[in-house]
Structure 1
Amino acid sequence: MMNMTSRSKKRVLLPSRPSPPTVDHILEDIRAAAPSDPVFSILEQPNASSSADGDVERTFQQCRRHVVVNQQLHDAQVRLKRQRDELRAAGELLDRDVSDVKSGLL
């Protein structure tokens, strides 16, 4: 029995890719296109495009506000932790002072 391997398979040659169209060819295609061509019907709907642009802008602004507020919250958290630590240290110092005063009175 003969062992068939992938090397014995005949390789299929694919046709070469066509070269991309030139600018002149693209312009000729555009000039020859009928007014009912779908590409022109997209251009006739400025309201849909402008509302989509407005939605994108509104979403972008919401994201920007979210990032700014998130940064402000982070800064507030850091500030509050620092103030908490300062209050704890002041409380411990106050407790020691009160203890010293009490021991001096006794």
Structure 2
Amino acid sequence: MNLGSKGKKRSVLPSRPDPPTVDQILEDISQAPSNDPIFSILEKIGQDSPRSSPDSDTELKFQQCRRFVELNQQLQEAQKRLLLQRAELQTAGEQLERDVAEVKGRAL
């Protein structure tokens, strides 16, 4: 019975794309339909500025960009946590493999 993971191949993940620029974000927001889910999310958190006047449209876009930046920061922090947890799991897995090999060596 093979308890180790030596026979398993690890997949290599593709590199992540660069984050969008501010201009790309603004373009995306300006082209989004009014029924886009982000608008309903913003309404739920109390940022339901009407889109009728240029000033309110600018304010809405600003609030949307600000929320996007906040969410992006939260995602980056989560990514860092996940990378740390992954490293910890890899270390624990390697230690487990060494312990199993040691136990097998003692049994012989």
Q: Report the TM-score when normalising by structure 2.
A: 0.51
Quote the Cα distance in structure 1 between the aligned partners of 2:78 and 2:91: 20
Quote the Cα distance in structure 2 between the aligned partners of 1:59 and 1:85: 39
Quote the Cα distance in structure 2 between the aligned partners of 1:52 and 1:89: 55
Code of the aligned partner of 1:67: V
Q: Which has the higher contact order (CA 8 A, sep 6+)?
A: 2
Code of the aligned partner of 1:90: A
- Displacement of 1:73 in angstroms is 1.0
**Structure 1 consecutive aligned stretches of length 4 or more whose deviation exceeds 3 Å:** none
Quote the Cα distance in structure 2 between the aligned partners of 1:61 and 1:70: 14
Matches within 5 A, 1:1-106: 51-106=53-108
Q: Which runs of 5+ in 1 are unaligned?
A: 1-49
How many residues of Structure 1 are paired with residues of Structure 2 in the alignment?
57
Q: Which runs of 5+ in 2 are unaligned?
A: 1-51
Q: Give the RMSD, CA atoms, in angstroms.
A: 1.1
Quote the Cα distance in structure 1 between the aligned partners of 2:79 and 2:86: 10
Higher helix proportion (structure 1 or 2): 1
Q: Report the TM-score when normalising by structure 1.
A: 0.52
Quote the Cα distance in structure 2 between the aligned partners of 1:85 and 1:59: 39
